[in-house]
Every structure is written in C-alpha cells, then in structure tokens.
Structure 1
Amino acid sequence: MSSYNVESRVIKAPVTKVWDVLKKQDFSFWSLVKSVELSTSPSEVGSVRKTTFADGTIQKHRLLEFSEIKHQFTYEIIESEPAVTALSAQHTFKVIPVTADNTSFVQWSSDFSADGSLEVVMDAKYKKLDALEELAKALEN
C-alpha cells in the first residue's frame, strides 16, 4: 500500500498563463527553490532536472509524463542529497480550467511508496500548500 497526498488551489489566472509558468518546471515562483538545471527540454519525457533548494538539499527528478493537451506533467525523484525517507514517489501537476470565471484549478499530487510515513506525507502537504500560495501570488499580480 502506498501513501498519497493531494493539494489544490484555484488561481485567478487563465489556464494558459498558469501552464506557461508550470510547464517550464523551474519552480521560479517557489521561495524554497534556489535553482533548477535541466538536462534537455522540460517537456521531453525522460529528461532530468537538478533542483537545488534553499536549505541546501539537491534532488534530481526524471520527467515521466508531459501533456500540453491535458496541461499536466508527472515526475519522480531519482536522487536526493540528503536522502529522502520514502523509497519512491511520483508527483503530478494538473491545471484545469474553471470555465465559469476563466480561473484555473491547480492540483499537485504525490504518490509515495509504502514506506512513505505520515511525517513525509504531512511535510509534502504543507510544502505544496505554501508553493501553491506562492504560485497564486506570482500569477495574480
């Protein structure tokens, strides 16, 4: 059995504007991210990005799925220094139009392996909530 976490937010911006920020996978809107280096195109399945976080953590992520049509992408952590406590995790971003008012529903989910503890899931929850708030502020200004 795995552990699952999903967080979401409505952002007062059209899907195209939100997707243009997220699809680059540079997380420039998020204060926890210091820098991102991409091995190739951010939309090329199999590409790897190296993310350096403000606390010094360095992770490599591999892109597993990318869809311009569905406005979503999925990635997994393949390396982390320091090591993460869950053996594996897949993370998915989705951007869905809210047609009533031309806003966007953004969902960020994580599916952790069975060793994903409550602590890991709760840490992911609060980091996602903060990141989505920062994304909203960046796009709504």
Structure 2
Amino acid sequence: MSVPTSSGVRESAVIAAPLAKVWHLIKLNDFPTFWSRLDKSEVVKGTSPETDVVKWAFKDGTVLEIKQEEHSSLDHFITYSVITAQPALTYTSVVSTIRLYPITTGKNEGHTFIVWTGNFSSDASADVIEDAKYKRQEALADLAKKLEK
C-alpha cells in the first residue's frame, strides 16, 4: 500500500555571496562546478537550436537528461525538467525551479536567498520526495561552500 505524500519539495538557503556571483553558477551545464554529487555535465548534441538539453552524470552512475524550460536573467530563475533517466525514474515527471533573490537589508545584506523547488507527478513515492529534499539540501550546502571560500 502506498503512503499519500506531498508531490513537491522546497528547500532554501542564504548564500553569503552577492546575487551576481551566485547567479553566475546557476546554469545547467555548470552544476558540477559546485554540486559534489555530480561527476560531469555536457550539452546534448543533436537537439534543436531552441532546446537546451544537458546530460548530468552523477557519481553513483545515474545519468539524467535535463531540459531547460525557462530562464530569466531579469528575475533570476531557471526552470528545468528531467526528460530521460538511466536507470529509469520510478515516477512520470518532475519540474524544478531555482530562484534567487538579493538580500538588500539587515544582517545578511549583500547575500543571496535561494529557493530550489521540485514538483513531481502524483505517482512519486514518499521516498522520492525525501530523496529530492536531501539532494537539494546537499547541493545548496555545496553551493554555499564554493561561494564562501
């Protein structure tokens, strides 16, 4: 029997770096420069010029093809979806968004607030949602370490 669960995940962090410095790394092909779980990424050849697809190879052997759905340099967000996976995903789909906000006042002025969400199809299990939560937490901590050096 499956356990009912939320089909979304939202993780956030304050990065001790200005938005421009953080935003520079939020490109699908640049994730391996900060995310320790990723081994490498490469642009997928043969896709249409209007389609940005990147292949992420994880250190555990998982390979995902990620399609950039939306990107805004004005509003500082990127939205992407998983279009293929090896091994195959146990759910139908996921769309993720990473959004950055400059912190303009207070003790964290000059830092960046980052939110990483994932919206999964309703067939995603509680284990999938928990795994996504922890991977986002880990990636945000890795990003903070890279930028706070």
TM bin (shorter chain): over 0.9
RMSD across aligned C-alpha pairs, in angstroms?
A: 1.7
1:24 positional shift: 5.1
Q: Relative to structure 1, is the Cα distance of residues 94 and 45 closer, same or farther in structure 2, using a 3 angstrom cutoff?
A: farther
Name the structure 2 match of 1:14.
18
Q: Retained in 1: the 8 A contact 2:38–2:56?
A: yes
Q: Relative to structure 1, is the Cα distance of residues 108 and 72 closer, same or farther in structure 2, using a 3 angstrom cutoff?
A: same
TM-score by length of 2: 0.88
Q: Distance in 2 between matches of 1:34 and 1:52?
A: 6
Name the structure 1 match of 2:72.
67
Secondary structure at the aligned position of 1:130 is classed as helix
Question: One-letter code of the match for 2:63?
Answer: I
Query: Taking every aligned residue pair, what percent have the same amino acid on both sides?
Result: 41
Name the structure 2 match of 1:81.
86
Q: Distance in 1 between matches of 2:93 and 2:50?
A: 18
| 1:3 and 2:11 correspond | no
TM-score by length of 1: 0.92
Q: Retained in 2: the 8 A contact 1:45–1:66?
A: no
Partner deviation per Cα, 1:69-105 (whole Å, 9 max, x = no partner): 0110100000000011110000101111110111000
Identify unmatched segments of 5+ residues in structure 2.
none
Q: Distance in 2 between matches of 1:45 and 1:106?
A: 27
Q: How many pairs are equivalent?
A: 138
Stretches (4+) displaced over 3 A: none
